[in-house]
Every structure is written in C-alpha cells, then in structure tokens.
Structure 1
Amino acid sequence: MKKLWLDSLAGFPVEQILKGAKHAIEHSEYLPTLHRMLECCHAGLSDLGLPAPHDAYVEACQAPSPKSAQDWSHAAVYLAGRDSDWFFLANNPERLTWPVFKENYQRYVSAVLRGEQLEMPEPAALEQKPSQALTREEQLAQLKQLRERSGL
C-alpha cells in the first residue's frame, strides 16, 4: 500500500504533497484516500496556474518553435522544457524524456510554492531596419573572396 501511494504521488514536489494533505485533512472528517489526495495535490497546482506534471510535459513536447514566443500555461512549463533540452524532448521516447522533464518541472513548481516569481525570457527581437541589398559589384567581390577561400 505504501508503495502504491509513493508511486502515485511521485509526480508532485514534497511541498505540494504536504499542502494537499493539509487541505484534505482540514476539509474532511476522515483521513484522505489516495484518490482524494491526488485531487488535492492537483487542485493546489491549478490554484497557482500550474498544470499537472504530465500535462505540462505534453504541452512542452507539442509546442512549436520559436518556444519563447509561445503562449505558455505557466512559465514553469517553458523553463522545465528549456532545461530538459527541446531537441532531447522532441527526438526521444517518453520513457527517456519524461523523467528528465519531471525532475526539472518539480524544481520549478517547488520554487513557485516557495513564492518565487518565474520570469520568461524575452523573445529575440527582429531587426528594425532591413539590411540593404548589395550592389552587383559588391556581390561579385564577395563571390570572388568566397572562391579564393574555398579554393575553387
């Protein structure tokens, strides 16, 4: 029974489990069941705007590029995906990527539970004025330099 509870609650940071247990005990006449405990842990995350760990994983894996320009459900999802490496998440099976993402996400969820504010990086700005096209002579000069460097 203890193993079942441990495995079921492993996706949550310790702070969230304690918060969920406190909520369940305060609002129930009896000790919580595993199902009630999971509900309380999920509710605590959603109160802070955080998705459930696996939902965050799916969001991070399915987000198109550029990642920093997406509308994320919470900054913790983006930061955990970034720390897990976007290429790694996109090119490996879930059995390899989920544990890495979960660990990173739990770290950020714990930070949010401690009251820290997570900041999204600013998306890279586009160049304000487009560069001028080279003249025909400049293009030929650069082509000549390229040929000399490459030995053609």
Structure 2
Amino acid sequence: MHDSNKLLEQTRRQLASSKNTPTAAGQTNSEPEPDRDAVIDALNRMFAEFELVYHNQYNKAFSNPEKLSYAKKLWFSNLRHIQPDRIVAATHRAIRESEFLPTIKGILKYCEPDNNELGLPDSHSAYLEACRAPQPKAEYHWSHPAVYHAGRASDWFYLAGTVEHSAYPVFRRHYDDICERVKNGETLIMPSQKAIPETISKPLSPDEQRQRMQKMRDELDI
C-alpha cells in the first residue's frame, strides 16, 4: 500500500507538470476549465476504486508502474475538461453497471448526464405519453419536448393505428436519437401556438351587408 501511495503521488506530480496538454474534445472556450489538482485527485480515486472492484482485470491492464503512470497521463489528457465530481459519479456508475474494467470512451459516456438528470422519461413511458396525448398535440403539456418530437417523427397517425409491438420500436429509435441530441446540448423548440386574436369577428347582419355593398358601389362609382 505504501508503494501504491508513493506511485500515486509521483504520477500526480507528473500530471501537474504537464502544462501544455491540448484542449480535450468536448471542451468549449465558454466553459471554465476544472481545477487540475481536483481532476487529478478524482482520477486517482477512480483508479484506486477500479483496482478494488476489477482487481484481476486491473492488474492485467496495468501490470507494472510504468504502464499505470502512462495510463493515468492518458486518462488525464482525455478527461481534464470534465468536472471532478462528474468523474467520480461516472466512476460509481461504471462500477454499478459494468462488469468489465471501463475504457476511456466508456467513462466519457458515463460522464454524460443521464435521462433522469435531463428530465427525460424512459422510452416506454414516453411512448405511452405520445400515444395518449390529446389533439392538438402541440398544445399538450408534455413531460419533455423530446417526447413530442419523437411522436411527430414517428407519425401520430401511425402511432394511433399500429399495435405497440410494432409501433414502440419505431418510436424508441426516434426517441433515443433525440435524447442523444439533448445530451449533446441541443435545445428542442416546440412549435409556436397561434395567439388568440384580440377581437373575434362575427357575421354581418343583412342590413350591414347591404350597407357595405352600397359603400363599395359608391367608391367604385358603379
């Protein structure tokens, strides 16, 4: 354990001295860069927990101190743009959901907010909502705009007239695609509702119609 702690501290110093690491994919100039030391601490915690949970796989992947040190540098270069608390949350999510030692790509996926965080219902609940929502669909109070857009992409008439075991996979495919767009930062826009006119016109009486017709004749001199 003493050697392991010494190695973690050595790797921490090596990572902290890497001042010229390129900006990682997914980071924008408008987002504040996370604290380097906090990211390093989160990664050290990740590797420590992975060692406990995926012991045999971990020791096979990082069979010597050199491989472990290089791996941590590589992971840091790919995760440095992510907030430390999200890295820790992704670590715990990976431990819960994956029986295999995660890759960098896998952890990046776990770092994305899940549907619950974004207010997105599960696909089957969304399907039932889309099928049961009354007309006009655009004016219904949807749990999330993604449900409306998935329903429209699937075709309302098709959803209403097709049995679930055929319609649900179609809806789910559209819904999953739209959820990915939401996770990538897209804001879904609902169609604008027509405003109620301030004055509502009513039919003219026969006398009013005759008066208007006469006015038009006078103006046209006919």
TM-score, reference length from structure 2: 0.43
Q: Which amino acid aligns with 1:119?
A: I
Q: Which amino acid aligns with 1:97?
A: A
Determine the structure 2 residue equivalent to 1:61: 131
If asked which structure has higher relative contact order (CA below 8 Å, sep 6+), I would say 1
Distance 2:191 2:131 in 1: 19
Determine the structure 1 residue equivalent to 2:161: 91
**CA 1:81–1:22 in structure 2 vs 1: closer, same or farther (change >3 Å)?**
farther
What is the aligned length?
109
> Cα deviations across residues 30-88 of structure 1 (Å, max 9, x unaligned)?
728xxxxxxx9xx9211110000111000111111111111111110011111111122
Distance 1:54 1:22 in 2: 28
Distance 2:132 2:91 in 1: 34
Match of 1:74 among 144, 161, 168: 144
Distance 2:151 2:92 in 1: 30
Determine the structure 1 residue equivalent to 2:179: 109
Q: Which amino acid aligns with 1:92?
A: T
Determine the structure 1 residue equivalent to 2:93: 24
Distance 1:53 1:23 in 2: 24
TM-score, reference length from structure 1: 0.61
Determine the structure 2 residue equivalent to 1:135: 205
Gaps of 5+ in 2: 1-88, 101-109, 210-222
